[in-house]
Amino acid sequence: MNGRAAPLCIGEDGWPEGPEQNRPPRLEVVPGGGAGKEKLAQRSLLLVEDDPSMRLLCTFNLELAGFRVTTAGSGREGLDAARVGRFDLVVLDVMLPDLGGFEVAAALRADEATRDVPFVFLSARTSSDDLARGRAVGAIDYVTKPFDPVELGARLHGDLDELARGGADDVWELRFGGAEPKR
């Protein structure tokens, strides 16, 4: 079955513009990711989510939290967008019409251009198996629905800060108390 393609959403400032453009400079760590940061401190984020309501909610709140948000409505669109642009973070839904979130993550990992982009899952699938699978494919965090969109930006900023200080394992440790993912 095919999914109905949503037009690729580009952030309000028109970014990303092309592959040659480098990752936006990150001048300082923004603890808590409060709103109203300087433009240079803005982190770019790709949201791959097929549900329009969730897309609207996340975009609205993440932008208020200082992210520059690009959205994609399906896995393939998301993958294309990730290859074209440079993002500080990719937020992936797990259930997507064409290509599932885990597959998108694996494709990101396999591609030289997107290998180092950190990603986070945002899903209604909440079993420990799903979390373990998310960790196994390399996610730094796994946000389960329902979640508080107002706090989401702070959480993602926190993830990125922790990642800058240590590594993906530290982020996981921060979020899940170091519980070993079960397979």
Partner 1 sequence: MTTPAAVEAARRAQRPVWLALLLLVCVIVALVVAGSFTAWRLYADANKRYLQQAIPVYGAAHDVLVQMLNEETGIRGYVISADPVALEPYMRGRRRARADLAAIGRGTRFDPDMSPHLAVARREVRRLNDFFEQQIALVRSGRAGRERAQARLLVGKTHFDRFRAAALALDSDASDVVARAHADQRNTLVAAIVFLGFAGAIATGIAVALLLTVPHRLFRLYREERAARRAAEQGADAARALAHVRDAVLLLDGESEAVRYWNPAAGTLFGLADGDGHSSQVARTLDELRRGREQAPGPRPVRVNGHERWVSYAETEFDGGRVVVLRDVTDDQRLERLRADFVATAAHELRTPLAAVYGAARTLRRDDRRLSPEVSEQFLAMIETEAERLKLLMDQLLVSAQLDREDVKLQREAVDLGGLTKSLVSSVELRKPESIELQVDCPDEVLCVDADPERLRQVLANLLDNAIKYSPDGGRVQVRISERGGFGVVEVRDDGIGIPHHEQQRIFEKFYRLDPSMTSGVGGSGLGLYISRALVQQMGGLLSVRSELGEGSTFSIMLPLSDTMAA
Binding site for partner 1 (CB under 8 A): 1-5, 35, 50-51, 53-54, 56-58, 60-61, 64, 75, 94-103, 124-127, 144-150
Output 61 or 86, the one with its CB closest to partner 1. 61
What gap in Å lies between CA 93 and CA 120, rounded to an integer? 9
Output 4 or 39, the one with its CB closest to partner 1. 4
Output 45 or 163, the one with its CB closest to partner 1. 45
Measure CA 62 to chain center.
11
What gap in Å lies between CA 62 and CA 85, rounded to an integer? 18
Q: Pick from 106, 96, 97: which is nearest to 134 by CA?
A: 106
Four-residue CA torsion sign, 171, 174, 179, 182: negative
What gap in Å lies between CA 62 and CA 151, rounded to an integer? 9
> What do you get for the CA distance between the two ends of the chain, in Å?
29
Output 62 or 163, the one with its CB closest to partner 1. 62
Instruction: Kindly state the smallest distance separating residue 58's Cβ from partner 1, in Å.
Output: 8
Tell me the two tokens of residue 160: 């990125």
Output 124 or 179, the one with its CB closest to partner 1. 124
The DSSP symbol for 114 reads T
Can you tell me which residue has the tokens 């290859």? 83
Instruction: Kindly state the smallest distance separating residue 163's Cβ from partner 1, in Å.
Output: 25
Instruction: Kindly state the smallest distance separating residue 157's Cβ from partner 1, in Å.
Output: 15
Instruction: Kindly state the smallest distance separating residue 11's Cβ from partner 1, in Å.
Output: 18
Instruction: Kindly state the smallest distance separating residue 100's Cβ from partner 1, in Å.
Output: 3
